[in-house]
Structure 1
């Protein structure tokens, strides 16, 4: 049978949009925006919904030990390494409706298109909704993709949240098998390539009027938690130069984090996302405070140097104030370049469909960074309105969703034929 031309495989944007909107109704309605955080009840309900959506699309789907929803569309050669695509459906607190979700619903739509057009790939097509891509209280993002890639280890399971609950305990309570998750790594020989469709989460594509982003590299992420211990004193009677104010030390550290980020090269950023203090009162000098910060860049040398400079400066400044500080450094991921062959394949797909494209880096972390351990990796970006993401205002137009899925499907076919 002659297979149809790639450019006639047009996604049903209304169908995909309806899927995204239906999934967005499964959230914690006690919070503004769309909250579906890992290990929550809304997230558990959404897993059942997504599993059924994959099966309705004709995929053989199940949930593995690490909580990934894995759907398979059988190819003509069961011995050929698989082509993988997907993303995640968890959100940050009070997040949006498109981050990650587009990659999962778009992948399901691509599988539908292949079947409805009678296009059968030689390789199996694997569609994955990875468990827990977003940052969580345990400080371990991309739990599911780490497990598949073989980079989830026992030390990750031992990490605890603010209540002293370990990630292993949280996984077990969610119905997963943490020990099996650590040991379930796929073999690189099982995977030919991985391609992920995602909203940009930044303003570059929209500002340039470009329809498709060909991702060149995914930023590395270093995370830092600094716990400051000072001395409680009466706020009205203790002279300013005799205080050991933990909160002021933390505030100074936040400015250090910002200052290093402002001196970064292109695509280097720093952020302090959270600060907490003890009981606190108008008339008590704070004796404890904690900050959580991160550093991101596609440049590994700058990233490593920035982490060291921030940690050293925070320690030096705290000591001058008579405040002790304990700094916990966690490498979330190193910078990961997309393979050149994948970049070229995505660019050719966009060209063949008459869509404008630009090479762009990703400042956000993605499951794709871990999937690069198994084979060639690439990503397709579509515009985010105003560059907004991780907030209720996150938005991507339906026409851009359609373009992204069309490029994704074309890329899948080209990868299969390569």
Structure 2
């Protein structure tokens, strides 16, 4: 069978993919808006059971590792060769959508099905992974499972606490994960021939450019910030404006500083303040305490580091001018990571062979792929997001676009396996 014919034979079953997406998206936190399925929730536990069932049904030898990743293995002819890996995640943000992450997991399972149904045997093992806890969460640590596989999960990470004081390590234990073992389960560099992740774009570039596929060039680095402001409480009706030490106004000024910094980025930079709190929270009292949670992202590592320094200096100076103390804590999430050129070339070549219109593009979102890149050549495939919407209930990708991405994922993995 020629390379082109083999690729065409791997065309996925779009109706089966759509049915799997409908069923997986039914596991939600019923009291929450959108398709909420946050890490460690009971709906997340139930959804993982569904994923395990689907993996086994696809012929994958399936288990849950020490970090809580669901790992399915399709044996190749020569198991001494470095393996291939694909996958994504099935947890969501609060009030999130039903495609982010899920497309990559269910698409990978469909690839395994089609390989078996067409009798396409790989030379090397293929691992399909549903990574634990990719999304941001109250512990301030995303990509828990992929960090463990990459060897970057640390004891300090396990000691992080949520708002109630619960340790991440204890939350993992309650969920049935073995956190101490998760620190020691890293895969060896060189054990993987390559990693390819299928994902929705989560932005508007492909749709606006009428492109079918995005070949990812780099994944943005993320710097997350918790800034705390301490001022002085006073009577809101009697303390003159010039005499106030208003913590909330200092926090509001910091929000604008963070926004202005990203607006001046020369290549790619974005910033978001996603949460703000103040106390005592009364109309008639000048706030004495305030906190903001913010982040900055860019594929330009040098700009990101410079922005981090500039933002810290400006926030501190502006708060001081108001008589407010500012304490900044940086919660580094991930570094800027480039996709491996050879893997990008494989994906682009397979897209050309299949007749798909593609565009090279960076990702402004974080992904498990950024961590797996530490131990394996890495690439990503994007499919369009309707209206560029993501992390909202309106998130949508047409099943035809998803099927096209799954087809390209299969072709890319076969090419990586056989060196064609």
Q: Taking structure 2 as the reference length, what is the TM-score of the superposition?
A: 0.98
Query: Measured at CA, do residues 263 and 254 of structure 1 come closer, stay the same or move farther in structure 2, by a change above 3 Å?
Result: same
Q: Unaligned stretches of 5+ in structure 2?
A: none
- What corresponds to 1:361 in structure 2? 362
Within 2, Cα distance between the matches of 1:218 and 1:11?
27
- What corresponds to 1:24 in structure 2? 25
Deviation at 1:41, TM superposition (A): 1.1
- What corresponds to 2:183 in structure 1? 182
- What corresponds to 1:153 in structure 2? 154
Deviation at 1:325, TM superposition (A): 1.2
Specify the SS of the correspondent of 2:190: helix
Within 2, Cα distance between the matches of 1:238 and 1:132?
47
- Write out per-residue CA displacement over residues 71-108 of structure 1, whole angstroms, 9 at most, x where no aligned residue: 00000011111100000000000000000100000000
- What corresponds to 1:267 in structure 2? 268
Structure 1 contact 7–352 (Cα < 8 Å) conserved: no
Structure 2 contact 211–359 (Cα < 8 Å) conserved: yes
Within 1, Cα distance between the matches of 2:262 and 2:269?
7
Structure 2 contact 97–394 (Cα < 8 Å) conserved: yes
The equivalences for 1:105-144 within 5 A come to 105-144=106-145
Within 2, Cα distance between the matches of 1:267 and 1:51?
38
Structure 1 contact 223–293 (Cα < 8 Å) conserved: yes
Spell out structure 1 runs of 4+ moving beyond 3 A: 1-4
Within 2, Cα distance between the matches of 1:267 and 1:405?
28
Within 2, Cα distance between the matches of 1:22 and 1:279?
45
Structure 1 contact 88–100 (Cα < 8 Å) conserved: yes
Aligned residues: 418
Within 2, Cα distance between the matches of 1:278 and 1:63?
43
- What corresponds to 2:60 in structure 1? 59
Match status 1:9 vs 2:5: no
- Write out per-residue CA displacement over residues 150-181 of structure 1, whole angstroms, 9 at most, x where no aligned residue: 00011111111111111111111111111111
- What corresponds to 1:321 in structure 2? 322
- What corresponds to 2:241 in structure 1? 240
- Write out per-residue CA displacement over residues 307-362 of structure 1, whole angstroms, 9 at most, x where no aligned residue: 11111111111111111111001211111000110110000111111110000100
Deviation at 1:2, TM superposition (A): 8.7
Within 2, Cα distance between the matches of 1:300 and 1:283?
44
- What corresponds to 2:298 in structure 1? 297
Within 1, Cα distance between the matches of 2:404 and 2:388?
18
Structure 2 contact 267–300 (Cα < 8 Å) conserved: no
- Write out per-residue CA displacement over residues 6-26 of structure 1, whole angstroms, 9 at most, x where no aligned residue: 122210011011101100000
Within 2, Cα distance between the matches of 1:201 and 1:400?
13
Deviation at 1:183, TM superposition (A): 1.1
Structure 2 contact 37–91 (Cα < 8 Å) conserved: yes
